[in-house]
Amino acid sequence: MRMSQLYSATLREVPAEAEIASHQLMLRAGLIRKVAMGIYSYMPVGWRVMKKIMQIIREEMDAQGGQEMFMPTVQPAELWQESGRWNVYGKELWRVKDRHDRDFLLAPTHEELITAHVRNDVRSYKQLPLMPYQIQTKFRDERRPRFGLMRCREFVMKDLYSFDRDEAGLEISYQKMHTAYTNVFNRCGLTCRPVVADSGAIGGSGSHEFMALSEVGESQILFCHKCDYAATDEIAAVEPCPTGVGETPASMEKVHTPDCKSVEAVAALLGMPANRLVKTICYMADGKFVTVLIRGDRQVNEVKLANVLGCVELFFADDETVRQHGMEPGYCGPVGLNQDVPVVADREVALMVNHACGAGEKDYHLKNVNPQRGDYRIDTVADIVLVEKGAACPVCGAPLDTARGIEVGQIFKLYTKYSAKLGARYLDEKGQEQDIVMGCYGIGVGRTMAAIIEQNHDDYGIVWPMSVAPWQVEIVPVNDKDEFLVEQAEGLYQELSKRGVETLIDDRKERPGVKFNDADLLGFPLRITVGKKCRETGTVEIKIRATGEVQEVALADVADIIQNLVRSMLQDLHCS
């Protein structure tokens, strides 16, 4: 490709709307242009990168038995009413009407449609397993799109669905996808970590998210340095550390604590650390009033809590509702609570000895409360704690560390959640009808591109890994008026192109500084500079973008050396 003909415009200044490096660089390098909030055009250079990522994904999906297909974005509402998600999905589901005023939607994901296809086409166990997939545009009317391609309303996603006879089959498909995802992200040059993720009401170890480690990631992960435990903060478990264990239960005591509504204030007044207190928090779970008990210095993990309660909607109860259930906001406590109020306690709370808590009436707290003595009722004991840095690893007990990550992929065991609802069944060897066991597996393609830039950039611009670079090599003739240099550069361009090396020649009538800066911004892995040394000594310069390493080579050797460099840099990324 000739840069003089390329539809691309680089910007010197950073557009004011962009906050993070990948977003700024994608705009400055002319990879994307914004159309509306969370909606972008992929410009020619950006789309070349997208196509490369998609090709890597295709190869890895196909290697595991995936079969590519393509399904529509616009889907009739009926299908989603059948699965129940038309009502459950909420405002994020982008609903549209056709000219006959019939309900349609712009699909955020394709479980319903693919399951409907499979239910019509699959009758026998002999047709399973299946792994259809597509790379396609998805719509989610996000409440708050942000950070460029990181969180969009329209985005490109690879979605694969596995259909198996039983859970053993699902386990195999799931492992295949785990392997495929690891390969995809390695080949893209991403440092990625699979972590245990929330799998909603289904439960179990049914989901992993693939996190590209990055400061600007929207997800927090907790991991162990000693063993390989890693999970999102939504689901991370922790070894309970109850306080007061070993003490003799003392008799309960009511203490006057005027104007002590916060844990800190109560702890200060009672002269004890916050971890000797129990907080009582009142929630509305799908419209039902629930109280939740947790150690004073801990935070409630609402994702875990929602899973325990099996609810969809969860928020704090307002003061009035709290009073209606016989408690005083700021002084809530479990002792003597109304029988009709469900009590969920964190595992730690149930083991605590001589803890303090609210007395349920204004300006009073209780000391030396003991759940195991039966001082109050607990209906459900569960892990509902938000794990923080330094907490004990649930596997080996070492302190957990935290990191931030960009969720570039998620794999998920669906079991029969959709097949049962939509009636996707097959006949087994005994002629028995069975629900098909499903899994779903997604990769955000644009988000992957953004994550690659987050992990591979410097002050000058993008530093593409060889496998996803829009062009592998750029040739820069330093002086466009010097016919000899231009001729040599053109000759090199022809030779490399003939050899199948993806080459861009900067044949613009620009000064060298402009060309060098654009080359750095656009991030081509290799740059060949054809300058006056070419005339004087017959050599050109090869510069490696990532390391800054420069070597001078004879004109006659350049093509061979470049070809070898490209090959070895691809091999380093397990792409040959």
Enumerate residues 6+ apart whose C-beta is below 8 A from 181. Answer: 60, 194, 210, 409, 411, 441, 443
Give the Cα separation of 44 and 50 in Å (integer): 10
Give the Cα separation of 334 and 183 in Å (integer): 51
Q: Which of 44, 72, 84, 90 binds RNA (CB under 7 A)?
A: 90
487 lies in the site for RNA, by CB under 7 A? no
Draw the binding track, 463-482, toward RNA (x: CB under 7 A; -: no contact).
Answer: ---------------xxxxx
Q: Which residue has the tokens 């609402």?
A: 302
**Among the candidate windows 127-135, 337-345, 445-453, 513-521, which touches RNA by CB under 7 A?**
513-521
The least distance separating RNA from the CB of residue 116, rounded to whole angstroms, comes to 19
110 to 139, contacts with RNA by CB under 7 A?
none
The strand pair at 380-382 and 343-346 is best described as parallel
228 to 267, contacts with RNA by CB under 7 A?
234
**Among the candidate windows 128-136, 306-314, 324-332, 380-388, which touches RNA by CB under 7 A?**
306-314
CB 416, CB 179: distance < 8 Å: no
For residue 48, the SS3 value is helix
Q: Which is nearer to RNA, 252 or 314 (CB)?
A: 314
Give the Cα separation of 114 and 119 in Å (integer): 9
Give the Cα separation of 181 and 190 in Å (integer): 11
**Among the candidate windows 8-16, 52-60, 291-299, 424-432, which touches RNA by CB under 7 A?**
8-16
Give the Cα separation of 408 and 213 in Å (integer): 10
The least distance separating RNA from the CB of residue 265, rounded to whole angstroms, comes to 22
How crowded is residue 86: how many other Cβ atoms within 10 Å of its Cβ? 17
The least distance separating RNA from the CB of residue 144, rounded to whole angstroms, comes to 4
518 lies in the site for RNA, by CB under 7 A? yes
Tell me the site size for RNA, rule CB under 7 A: 66
500 lies in the site for RNA, by CB under 7 A? no
Give the Cα separation of 459 and 363 in Å (integer): 57
Exposed / middle / buried, residue 311 (Cβ in 10 Å: 0-12, 13-18, 19+): middle
145 lies in the site for RNA, by CB under 7 A? yes
Q: Which amino acid is at 181?
A: Y
CB 377, CB 369: distance < 8 Å: no
Q: Which is nearer to RNA, 24 or 467 (CB)?
A: 24
Torsion of the alpha carbons at 400, 403, 407 and 408, rounded to the nearest 10:
-110
Q: Which of 174, 223, 412, 493 binds RNA (CB under 7 A)?
A: 412
The two structure tokens encoding residue 262? 């916060």
89 lies in the site for RNA, by CB under 7 A? yes
The least distance separating RNA from the CB of residue 151, rounded to whole angstroms, comes to 9
Query: CA nearest 52: which of 400, 491, 465?
Result: 465
282 to 301, contacts with RNA by CB under 7 A?
none
528 to 567, contacts with RNA by CB under 7 A?
529-534, 540-541, 543, 550
- Which residues contact RNA (rule: CB under 7 A)? 10-17, 19, 34, 36-38, 88-90, 92, 108-109, 140, 143-147, 197-200, 207, 209, 234, 302, 306, 312-315, 410, 412, 460, 478-482, 511-514, 516-521, 529-534, 540-541, 543, 550
